[in-house]
Structure 1
Amino acid sequence: MIRSLVGTFLVAAAATSLMAVPAGATSSTAGATAVTVTAKPHLIRSKIQFGRCGHTCRIKVRIKNISRTTVVNVRLKARLKINGRHVGTCYDNVGTIRARKARWASCTVRSRSLSRAYDRYLARRSDFNQHVFTTTYYRYYR
């Protein structure tokens, strides 16, 4: 059976007439909605490296499968921010990662806003602080 990364959200309404509250005790959740969240298992870890970053930025990510199951259909999305501003997004299809193994993924960001940020840095008008947010999508056998 193949499971995807999408988590399951269960919402149960708390009925005050059905709740058992001891005598003399007050219930802080009376009349509120109880929410039970079942999130996806986190089966992978990642480590980010930068290459040279100028008018184009090369982003390398090491994705390690920390579970005992094979992870299939692994895809990477990397969002690059320079000085807190979003300058580009890149994607990579990694493939299958066997249990306890690691694979490298890399992608390149090329955009007009990245080029403008680098030009401002060369003209000494701003800094060039790089930050990458990565999201990894995958499926696993269960």
Structure 2
Amino acid sequence: MVKSLAGTVLVAAAAASLMAAPAAASAESSGLTATTASAQLIRTKVYFGRCRDTCQIKVRIRNVSRTNIFDVRLNARLRINGRNVGTCYDHVGSIRAKKTKWAACTVRSRSLSNAYNRYLDGVADFNQYTNTTVNYRYYR
């Protein structure tokens, strides 16, 4: 049996569906069964490489479980001063049990370049923040 999880997105979706159903009777009447989200099998840590007019995002992905995970994909959304300036994607592959892999992607966009130019002109700050989502599948 193959299971599929999507980082924090699955946890938020499961929590929202559980809050939307106030009683078990409403879940039974619609034919749905209420389930909780399972534990996440990975831990991530984000590092920034060179971040000027292009920004390199590096992510360390650790498999903390005893199962091998495969089809691992990274989605990263870069925000500068609270504004979304671009996204990037990377296909990592498979990660064996208790092992670590690195993923990296580069954001190149006009809005990132404009934000950096405003920083060089002294008009605005250059506070960078990244939201990352790691999707993966595993055998159970």
Smaller-chain TM-score range? 0.7 to 0.9
Amino acid at match of 2:122: R
Map Cα deviations across residues 3-59 of structure 1 (whole Å, 9 max, x no partner). Answer: 111656675226xxxxxxxxxxxxxxxxxxxx9441133000001111110110000
State how far apart, in whole Å, the 2-side matches of 1:131 and 1:61 are.
13
Partner of 1:81: 79
State how far apart, in whole Å, the 2-side matches of 1:135 and 1:71 are.
15
Describe how 1:6-45 pairs up with structure 2 within 5 A: 12-13=24-25, 36-45=34-43
Partner of 2:137: 139
Partner of 2:111: 113
SS of residue in 2 equivalent to 1:79: strand
Q: Which residue among 59, 62, 68 is the counterpart of 1:61? A: 59
SS of residue in 2 equivalent to 1:60: strand
Larger Rg belongs to: 1
State how far apart, in whole Å, the 2-side matches of 1:127 and 1:118 are.
9
TM-score for both structures, normalised by structure 1 = 0.80
Q: Provide structure 2 residue ranges, at least 5 long, that are not aligned to the other structure.
A: 27-32
Q: Which has the higher strand share?
A: 1
Partner of 2:92: 94
| CA displacement at 1:86 relative to structure 2 | 0.4
Aligned residues: 122
SS of residue in 2 equivalent to 1:13: helix
| Aligned sequence identity (%) | 62
Amino acid at match of 2:2: I
Higher relative contact order (CA 8 A, sep 6+): 2
Map Cα deviations across residues 52-102 of structure 1 (whole Å, 9 max, x no partner). Answer: 101100000000000000011000000000000000000000000000000
